[in-house]
Structure formats: C-alpha cells, structure tokens
Amino acid sequence: MGMTMTQKILAAHAGLDKVEAGQLIEADLDLVLGNDITSPVAIKEMEKMNVDGVFDKDKIALVPDHFVPNKDIKSAEHCKCVREFAYRNNITNYFEVGEMGIEHALLPEKGLTVAGDVIIGADSHTCTYGALGAFSTGVGSTDMAAGMATGKAWFKVPSAIRFNLVGRPSEWVSGKDVILHIIGMIGVDGALYKSMEFVGDGVGNLTMDDRFTIANMAIEAGGKNGIFPVDDLAAAYMKEHSDRPYTVYEADEDAVYDEEYTIDLSRLRPTIAFPHLPENTKTIDEIKEDIRIDQVVIGSCTNGRMEDMRAAAKVLKGRHVAKGLRCIVIPATQAVYMQAMEEGLLKIFIEAGAVVSTPTCGPCLGGYMGILAQGERCVSTTNRNFVGRMGHVESEIYLASPAVAAASAVEGRISCPCRLK
C-alpha cells in the first residue's frame, strides 16, 4: 500500500520509511510561525519550560499582522511582547511594521517555504504553503511553543482525499471559486483531519496565486492540510523567491484515498458563500434575489496577492463604487502594495472611491479597518463568514473572489463582472 504526498513528507521528517493514516509520529520542523495574537501565548508557555532559547533562530518566523499597526494599547502590548522575544532570541525572520505583510502571503514571497517542508503555525490558515508542495498546518499556541523550543511536533498521520482537477477555468473564475465550489460540495467538515490533495491536468491551468488561495481554505473544509504537486510553475516560483533547496514528493500510484472527486474547472461559475458558513454556496446564476450590501473588502491571506489586485482593478477601472458603500482594498504585503502602486492600480482604486490600507488582517477577524454594524452586509474576499466574524453578530458576510467583490462594490449589490455594462 503506497503513500500520499503528505504521508511521504511526514515519513521523511519522522525518519521513517513508511507511515500510515492514523499513525502517531514525531516529525522535525522546517519552520515555526506565529503572529501578534498567537505568539504572546506561545512565548509565555515557552517561558514555563525553562528552556535555553529557541531550537533554531533561522527556522522561526514572527509576523505581527492581525492588529498592526497597533489599533489599541492591548495590541501594542502584544506586539511589544513578540518584538522583545524576537530581539532576545535573535530571530532572523521577525518582520516589523514597514516590512511586514499578511503572514501567509509574506512567507512564500520571502522564500521561507518550499516543497517538502514540514511547517506549523499558530494560525489555522498555515495550510496555505501546500501550494508549493509542502506539508503545512495550523496548531495551537502551546504546540507552537514546543516547536520553537524543540524543533519537533507530534502529528497523527492524516488520511487523504484526492481532487482530480481537469479543464481550464473560464473568464472571471479563479482559485477562490474553485475552493468555494469544493467546500460547497463536501461541506465544512467534509475533509475533517484529512489531507486535501489536488492533482490532474487542470492544475497546470491554475496560477500560483490560485493555488495559494485553494490551499489556504483547506481548513474551511476541515482539512488538516491542502497540497499540490510541484510542477514547472511551482518550481519557477521557488527559484524566483527562494535560495533554499527543496524536495519533491509524489504520491505512489497505489496510494490510498478515502474519497476521490473529479472537478471540471471549465464548468465552474463565479461562486459566493452566503452567511453563515463557507459551505453555503451559490453560483452567480443561482442568485435571483437583489442582495444590497454596505461594504466590500478586497484583501486577506486568501486574496490579497497581485493577481487579486489586478482582477479588482480591471473591474473598477473607469467605474465608481456605489454611493454610500465602503470599499476597502488591502494589499497583502509591502511588495504587493509597491507593485500595485507601480502598475497604477492604487490610483484606479482611489479614483473608484475605494480606500487602500497598509497590509493587515484587520477586518477579516473583526479586528479593525472595516468592522460591521448590526444589520450590515459585506462581500469579502476573506475566508470565513461565521456569525459575528467581522463585527456585529447580526451582520452578514458573503465570501467571493476579488472580481465578484469589485463588481458588487460598483453595483451596491451582489453582482459579477459579466453583468456590468
């Protein structure tokens, strides 16, 4: 019985020839990640261990991004805790305001994540790096503390679901639509503690930004991780961004999967997740009602990369957001912000009546930079639309791609670029 991509990576990092689903292992870590919310908890736990520093100052990444620049005294204290820990332990990859970005966009951009890695992060969307053929998953702050101290973590080897992607997406269909379609199909617990492995000829028709988005939202289907094979596009991305060696792992032909699905990308349509779960999806063609909105957010670790900025700008160029609607655009990193500026995208956003923020997770988790009031509705390119996720418990969040979000901003209601004049 063969192994999946994920199982092969875990076996190698556990020093084993073979692992099976359900097996408990201890694996070596290539990177441990924390942010300004989760790291302070981990730091306090690590202090209780009475260990002498971190296991490797080059294999820890600390990225203050949730409430940064600090929104209040409490967030300032959290960041001070992280900053002092980073300086005290000479952490190589600590990113201060001015060089930081949203963690899951920043780390691949900085070349800190490559194929074959085992990565844990005290943030549930750490699964993003599976787009590069790595095993990456979110953990609690206590596990982060143990990882920083020892360079190891315990795992139960996950079983897997195989998603065979075929065909080419049509215009205005992106990675966000692909993953929302999948979550709508299998549900928010359809891949519970399983590896979501994306394969097939259709993978070659997805950009790296598409793949990051899909892997990012594996957790929204309950997945332990999401992972893509390493093709020429992924190899080119790593060559451009990283000087680290990497290892490519391929699933055995006789690897065992709990389920297998074939998804024809050419048949997908722009997809929106209605409140209050990512599985509550409808295609743009299925929405018959007139759903008026108050706010649009374009950004996050899911959809704040360059292709997302370009898609939104393509829709907004020469148009204006609806009167009384708030449109907030958040480039995910300083590099994305700079590139968007050089390409004239920021000018397009501002002329369209949007505001552009420094990189932050702020509105996604109801932190700041776009909190919703009672009864308000928001179309957002973020990853969760739970009750109260972005503000008041009686507000509503509709998850969508940047193109759909931008078109909705123009119309003042849920819409699609294909419907704009």
Hey, where are the domains in the chain? 5-264, 272-419
Rounded Cα–Cα distance for residues 30 and 28 (Å): 7
pLDDT at position 1, please?
79
Contacts (Cβ under 8 Å, ≥6 apart) of 162: 197, 199, 257, 259, 260, 261
What pLDDT sits at residue 248? 97
Q: What is the pLDDT of residue 51?
A: 87
From first to last of its 421 residues, what are the pLDDT tens digits of the chain?
Answer: 799 999 999 999 999 999 999 999 999 999 999 999 999 999 999 989 988 899 999 999 999 999 999 999 999 999 999 999 999 999 999 999 999 899 999 999 999 999 999 999 999 999 999 999 999 999 999 999 999 999 999 999 999 999 999 999 999 999 999 999 999 999 999 999 999 999 999 999 999 999 999 999 999 999 999 999 999 999 999 999 999 999 999 999 999 999 999 999 999 999 999 999 999 999 999 998 999 999 999 999 999 999 999 999 999 999 999 999 999 999 999 999 999 999 999 999 999 999 999 999 999 999 999 999 999 999 999 999 999 999 999 999 999 999 999 999 999 999 988 888 7
Give me the CATH code for the 272-419 domain, please: 3.30.499.10
Q: Output the pLDDT for position 257.
A: 97
Instruction: Report the CATH number of the 5-264 domain.
Output: 3.30.499.10
Tell me the pTM.
0.95
Joined together, the tokens standing for residue 347 give: 């000018």
Residue 116, pLDDT score: 97
pLDDT at res. 419: 80
Tell me: the pLDDT tens digits for 386-407? 999 999 999 999 999 999 999 9
Answer whether 5-264 and 272-419 agree in fold: yes
DSSP string across 263-318:
EEGGG---EEEPTT-TT-EEEGGG--S--B-SEEEE-HHHH-SHHHHHHHHHHHTT
Query: How is the chain split among helix, strand and coil, in percent rounded to 5?
Result: 35, 20, 45
* The pLDDT value given to residue 417: 87
Please tell me the predicted confidence (pLDDT) of residue 142: 94
